[in-house]
Amino acid sequence: MKDIQQAINDILAKQKKEPAQVLTLTLDSTCKSTHVKGLDTFVNLRSLSLCGLGLTSLEGFPKLPKLVRLTLSDNRITGGLQHLVDAGLTSLRTLELANNRLATVEEVAPLKGLTGLQCLDVDACPLTKTPEYRSAVFAMLDELKYLDGIDKEGRERDGDEEEEDDEEDAGEEEYDDGAGEEEFEDEEGGEFEEGEKEYAILVGDAVGEDEEGDYQDEGEGDDEEDDGEDEGAEPASGGTKRKREEEEGGDEEGDE
């Protein structure tokens, strides 16, 4: 299996980034190393995961002032947590040391120097078999909120809160669904309005043709009716005139 430096170089090549551009780095089970090395140039790193690498010592841990989350689970670390304090991890809030070889509460004592530490996980470490180890660790680390995912009152950590903290620790920008949906709706709306416009034009043309045709038909009908009335009026007028002449002729014959 490759060493830690090779694994780091492979990730940088794949992401096409410089070390200072990387905010989250995960090397879980990708390499083997007894010490943490090759990370000094990752000065903006916020989340680092080194699970299952075979680490036995934290001596020489790199100075990562912006590191918020450090995961060292499933290794063979027996102590030496003072090296994390010496590295100046002043921003560290979450430290996961589950399934390591920490045997006593005293081995956790150096973490008092990490004043921002809020979440500590030592589950499956030998020290968890110590009676009242939880109360002892909480008494030792004043700022600690959660130990092995449970607070001082025995309440489990809320899943939503943990997820939000994970995203924040990783330095990920929040994805605004609403903005994406709004943009998508705007695009759809534009297409729909354009479709409506085209439909209105087609319908308007059809309506205009029908109305124009109706007007023409009505006009033609009026002309035909007028013509019919004129033709009917002439015979009516002629018949009345002849009737009057006959009546006048009858009167004249009667006078004679």
Can you give the CATH number for the domain in which 84 is found?
3.80.10.10
55 plus 111 within the same structural domain: yes
**253 confidence band (pLDDT: 50, 70, 90):** very low
Cα gap 50→30, rounded to integer Å: 9
Query: Of 56 and 166, which is predicted with more confidence?
Result: 56
Assign 116 to helix, strand or coil: coil
**Mean pLDDT, range 51-73, rounded to an integer:** 98
In sequence order, the β-bridge partners of residue 71 are: 49, 96
As given in the structure block, the two tokens for residue 14 are: 């794949």
Helical ranges in the chain per DSSP H? 4-15, 82-86, 133-140, 159-170, 177-255
Mean per-residue pLDDT for 63-82?
A: 98
Statement: residue 12 has pLDDT above 80: yes
Q: What is the mean pLDDT of residues 86-91?
A: 97
Please give the structure tokens belonging to residue 248: 């006048």
Measured CA distances, 44 to 9, 111, 124 (Å): 17, 22, 31
Query: Is residue 160 domain-shared with residue 182, that is, in the same domain?
Result: no
Amino acid code (one letter) for 220 = E
**42 — pLDDT class (breaks 50, 70, 90):** very high
Q: In angstroms, what CA-CA distances link 165 with 26, 65, 67, 112?
A: 17, 18, 13, 21
- Does one domain contain both 63 and 187? no
183 pLDDT higher than 70: no
CB 83 within 8 Å of CB 108: no
Question: Residue type at 99?
Answer: N
Phi, psi of 113 (to 5 degrees): -75, -10
Q: Are 158 and 149 in contact (CB under 8 A)?
A: no
Mean pLDDT across 217-222: 48
pLDDT given at position 160: 73
Answer positive or negative: Cα dihedral of 212, 215, 218, 223. negative
> What would the mean pLDDT of 37-63 be, rounded to a whole number?
97
Do residue 214 and residue 131 come from a single domain? no
Look-up of token digits 């170089």:
9
The mean per-residue pLDDT over the stretch 189-194 comes to: 46
Are 71 and 45 found together in one domain?
yes
Instruction: Provide the number of structural domains found in the chain.
Output: 2
**What is the pairing mode between strands 94-96 and 69-71?**
parallel
Calculate mean pLDDT across residues 249-255.
48
Q: How confident is the model at residue 165 (pLDDT cuts 50, 70, 90)?
A: low
Instruction: Print the domain residue range for 134.
Output: 4-174
Is the four-CA dihedral 81, 87, 92, 94 of positive or negative sign?
negative
